[in-house]
Structure 1
Amino acid sequence: MLVENWMNPKVVTVDADDSMLDATKLMKEHNIRRLPVLEKGKLVGIVTDRDLKRASPSDATTLEAHEILYLIANIKVREIMSKNPITVPWNYTVEEAAEILLQAKISGMPVMDKDGKVIGMITQTDLFKVFISLTGVGKRGIQFAFLLEDRPGSIKEVTDVIRAYGGRMASILSSYEKAPEGQRYVYVRMYGVHRENMPQLKEDLKKKGKMLYIVDSRENKREIFNR
């Protein structure tokens, strides 16, 4: 899943010589928290709502309203922006983008094309949408969590049981994070199994690996095992 497919292509930018007031108006108008800063069409920085707040007079200021307005109308964006902003190429995967955001401790960044032009923005909100899509939560259904042996065929054994009951897989996720040696966590979201068959399905699945929990999104029921 590439950044290009999940970014917001309707990128709003500000010129380096625009005023702080201009940037504030753009953020409010478009309900956004960051603006790529351009100079002659080239990305030279990024300005965020935090930058604007830091540069604004504090609530304890003795300035009159018209003086504050004059001040922020005369401060240029280039004076408060962050230079050399972190960016991501359009052809990176969304997980690579997430790793960049996490390591840099930022919540969004410009997306660049092969010619170095800003073509979009990717933010934490966009990555949340990816996560929701990957997990198949929109299908509701039921999610089973397992601790399985890390060997070929262990996941197939689980999904074969579900298919035998007429179930369909909405998503299958796997993680080695914090898993014991020789095992891995597997999360299967499925739908299509009749309710009356669920008790027996659960028992059959328990024979294939250690079941950690079941979340039935259809009825908002949760069973947590071995807690």
Structure 2
Amino acid sequence: MLVKDFMTQNPLTVNGDISVIEAAELMKRHRVRRFPVLRNNEVVGIVTDRDLRSAGPSQVINFDKAERKLFPDLYDLLTKITVKDIMTRNIVTISPEKTIVTASLTMLKHKITGLPVVDDQKRLIGILTEGDIFKALVGFSASHLGKTLIGLTLEDRPGVLKDVADDIRESGGRMASILSSIKTGEKQMRQVYIRLMDDPPVNLEELKKSLEKEFELLFVIEDDVAIP
């Protein structure tokens, strides 16, 4: 669950002196949405596709060679605007040893979609994006191992998860992952989400009846999205 396990290592970077036109071409070529900006191997800013669109109309930023000849003055103006003119300077970074949860909360707090990852010497070693966090979430849920997801509200007492596991086992199933959190209220309860492995197959109707007898069953659903 650490940032270093999900970040993109050795990300593409740019120098602040290149033009926004060059930066846009690089983003398009490499299919990325942001570049850390370096000066003397130090992260001094970050430039995103949104920054580039703000610098000039996207249809102008992405001119091809033929179109440039039609609007030479406008194109020349944009070639004079550099990345350092539009980049975000007060950047937020993160350590590779922080958790994915910390990274997620940091992004939410600052309303950003990417975090440069730096080591103890403040050297750039990676970048973590919202896409990386989505992949981490999918990995935690073990979606690649099974489609069936069970939601339960359980009394927060010792042995309750074992009771649920026993019901699943008796129905021929195996658990791929368990996600759990405390639900506060008059009586402390726990919300639990269990993903079942596709192999071996489970008698879902029998399992649902068994769980409903003992627990508050929220849902039993099957994800129909293929996980790469």
Aligning the two structures, in what range does the TM-score lie when normalised by the shorter sequence? 0.7 to 0.9
Pick the aligned partner of 1:136 from 142, 163, 172: 142
Q: Single out whichever of 93-102 and 17-26 deviates more from structure 2.
A: 17-26
Q: Find the partner of 1:155 among 135, 152, 161.
A: 161
Question: Could you say which residue in structure 1 is the equivalent of 2:30?
Answer: 30
Instruction: List alignment gaps of at least 5 residues for structure 1.
Output: 220-227
| 1:59 Cα deviation after fit | 7.3
Query: What per-residue deviation string (whole Å, max 9, x for no partner) do you get for residues 120-176 of structure 1?
Result: 111111111111111111123321100101122212210122123332111100123
Match of 1:72 among 56, 71, 78: 78
Find the partner of 1:203 among 205, 209, 212.
Answer: 209
Which residue number corresponds to residue 52 of structure 1? 52
Q: Deviations over 1:8-32 (max 9, x none)?
A: 1140111111221221111111111
Q: What residue identity is the alignment partner of 1:43?
A: V
Q: Which amino acid aligns with 2:117?
A: V
2:120 corresponds in structure 1 to 114
| Structure 2: gaps (5+ residues) | 61-67
CA contact (8 A) 1:179 1:185 kept: no
Q: How many residues align?
A: 217
Secondary structure in 2 matching 1:53: helix
How far apart are the structure 2 equivalents of 1:27 and 1:47?
10
Counting aligned pairs with the same residue, the percent is: 38
2:92 aligned with 1:86, yes or no? yes
In the alignment, the residues of structure 1 paired with residue 166 and residue 41 of structure 2 have an alpha-carbon distance, to the nearest angstrom, of 55
- The secondary structure found in structure 1 opposite 2:154 is strand
Measured in 2, the distance between the counterparts of 1:158 and 1:37 equals: 51
Distance 1:89 1:194, change over 3 A: closer
Deviation at 1:67, TM superposition (A): 1.6
Q: Report the Cα offset of residue 96 of structure 1.
A: 0.8
Partner in structure 1 of residue 4 of structure 2:
4
How far apart, CA to CA, are the structure 1 residues paired with 2:103 and 2:37?
20
1:14 aligns with 2:14: yes
- CA separation in 2, counterparts of 1:40 and 1:51? 23
CA distance, structure 2, for counterparts of residue 11 and residue 123 of structure 1: 11
Distance 1:50 1:178 in 2: 40
Name the counterpart of 2:132: 126
Please tell me whether the aligned partners of residues 16 and 78 of structure 1 are also in contact (alpha carbons under 8 angstroms). Answer: yes
State the AA in 2 paired with 1:108. Answer: G
Q: Is the 8 A contact 2:36 2:43 kept in 1?
A: yes
CA, structure 1 residues 128+146, in 2 after alignment: closer, same or farther (shift >3 Å)?
Answer: same
User: Residues of 2 paired with 1:165 and 1:207: CA distance?
Assistant: 14
Return the TM-score normalized by structure 1: 0.87
Q: Per the alignment, do residues 179 and 76 of structure 1 end up closer, same or farther by CA in structure 2, a change over 3 Å counting?
A: farther
The one-letter code sitting in structure 2 at the alignment partner of 1:129 is K
CA distance in 2, matches of 1:164, 1:58: 59
- Measured after TM superposition, the shift of residue 200 of structure 1 is 2.1
How many Å separate the matches in 1 of 2:212 and 2:170?
Answer: 15
Kindly state the Cα deviation for residue 178 of structure 1 after the two structures are TM-superposed. 7.1
How much does 1:39 deviate?
Answer: 1.0
AA at the equivalent of 1:128: F
Q: What residue in structure 1 maps to residue 43 of structure 2?
A: 43
Cα RMSD between the aligned structures? Answer: 2.5
Pair 1:137–1:179, CA change in 2 (3 A): farther
TM normalised by structure 2 equals 0.86
